Structure 1
Amino acid sequence: MIEINGEKIVLTEVTDQDIDTLYYWKYEDKQQEAKKWNGPYTPEEEITKEMYRQNWNHDIFPHVPSSLVIRCDGKAIGYVGCYWVDKNTNWLETGIVIYDFNYWNGGYGTQAYKLWIDYLFKVTDIHRLGMSTWSGNIRMIKVAAKLGMKEEARIREARIINGEFFDAIKMGILRREWK
């Protein structure tokens, strides 16, 4: 069982209880605060809890899961994840979401994302890691920059949120820059 400990959070593999908690935050929570920041421009169809559970059951590399749960105070508050952009150039896209807004603005996301990036570079031979967001998600852009990611692309007015245009932002970091 993978367990990566930080000062504030722990990253672990998902449990059945985590699936229930994360499913609640993603699909059943009435406030849906995280969706206002985490890709609000992409309509998301609700899936069953069983389908959600099945989505967690794959590795990005042998014995390297594509996602880990962020735990704080003994409970799941979000997750970090990744997916392939291009296996030929050894490029993964990464992301993070903290659903529980009680853990926003306290450094939890920065620490979780840093531990995730560090883990991916340590246990794989990945060449580059990237992330995508929108220009209104200032917190994510600041976290990525704080961890050394560089803005690599800005696609002007490519996202519409609440009837207003925003830029799509792509940021990334190379293995040699992380070291």
Structure 2
Amino acid sequence: MFADKPTLKGKHVTLCPAGPEHTDGLIELISDPDVHRLTGSHGHINDDQARQWYATRGEHTERLDLAIMADEEYVGEVVLNELDTDNLSCNLRIALIGARVFGKGYGTEALELVLGHAFTTTPLHRIRLDVFTFNERARHVYKKVGFVEEGVERDALRWDGEWHDSVRMSILRPEWQARS
């Protein structure tokens, strides 16, 4: 379903197929402690693993990995993955490189671009995501672009000895069409 690896241009960001040329940005992203907390990532990958990961993203037709670029600088990634072709649904995840790019609208625009692509060029009906309750900034952005909260997974993340809930959100094709 994601054999086409498009470049999507917005006013402030361009989404392009993630590749080896974005590895330094990915390494910065996955090295940021705030990004680890916001994504609930306990694991770490080394530079060689990051290079290998981005070198192979274009080969996968069951997922779409896009680098978020602003002024030709890597500022994050947005990914459609966990494709369920029987139910025409997938997961979405997005991560920005850190506090220096937060609050500039990059995430909102990237989400709008990828949702527009998904709902106009594929048969997808539903796109879902999970976000931790402490990540109010992300929850606000997801709601702003049309995601609806569906439920809460209690105590889904243990971080620094404390438990945190995760909120499942989704957007359906008809909801996106009504907003467009």
Task: Report the TM range for the smaller structure's normalisation.
Answer: 0.7 to 0.9
Pairwise mapping of residues 1-179 of structure 1 onto structure 2 (< 5 A)?
A: 2-26=6-30, 29=31, 31-38=32-39, 40=40, 42-47=41-46, 48-60=49-61, 66-84=64-82, 86-179=84-177
Query: 1:103 offset after TM fit, Å?
Result: 1.2
Query: 1:88 offset after TM fit, Å?
Result: 1.5
| Whole-angstrom distance in 2 between the partners of 1:177 and 1:158 | 28
| Whole-angstrom distance in 2 between the partners of 1:112 and 1:36 | 21
| Whole-angstrom distance in 1 between the partners of 2:29 and 2:157 | 24
Show CA shifts across 1:103-145 (max 9, x none): 1012111111111111111110001001111111111111111
Show CA shifts across 1:73-95 (max 9, x none): 21111110011253221110001
Q: Does the aligned pair in 2 maintain the 1:58–1:66 contact within 8 Å?
A: no
| Whole-angstrom distance in 2 between the partners of 1:175 and 1:59 | 24
Gap runs ≥5 in structure 2: none
Q: CA RMSD in A?
A: 1.9
Show CA shifts across 1:28-80 (max 9, x none): x4x43322212x2x42241523432345233445xxx5111100121111110
Q: Which amino acid aligns with 2:116?
A: D
| Whole-angstrom distance in 1 between the partners of 2:20 and 2:56 | 13
**Change in CA separation of 1:119 and 1:138 when aligned onto 2, cut-off 3 Å:** same
Q: Which amino acid aligns with 1:46?
A: I
Q: TM-score, normalised by structure 1?
A: 0.86
Percent identity of equivalent pairs: 23
What secondary structure, in the 3-state scheme, does the structure 2 residue paired with 1:78 have? strand
**Which structure carries more helix by proportion?**
2
Q: Does the aligned pair in 1 maintain the 2:19–2:57 contact within 8 Å?
A: no
What secondary structure, in the 3-state scheme, does the structure 2 residue paired with 1:44 have? coil
Gap runs ≥5 in structure 1: none
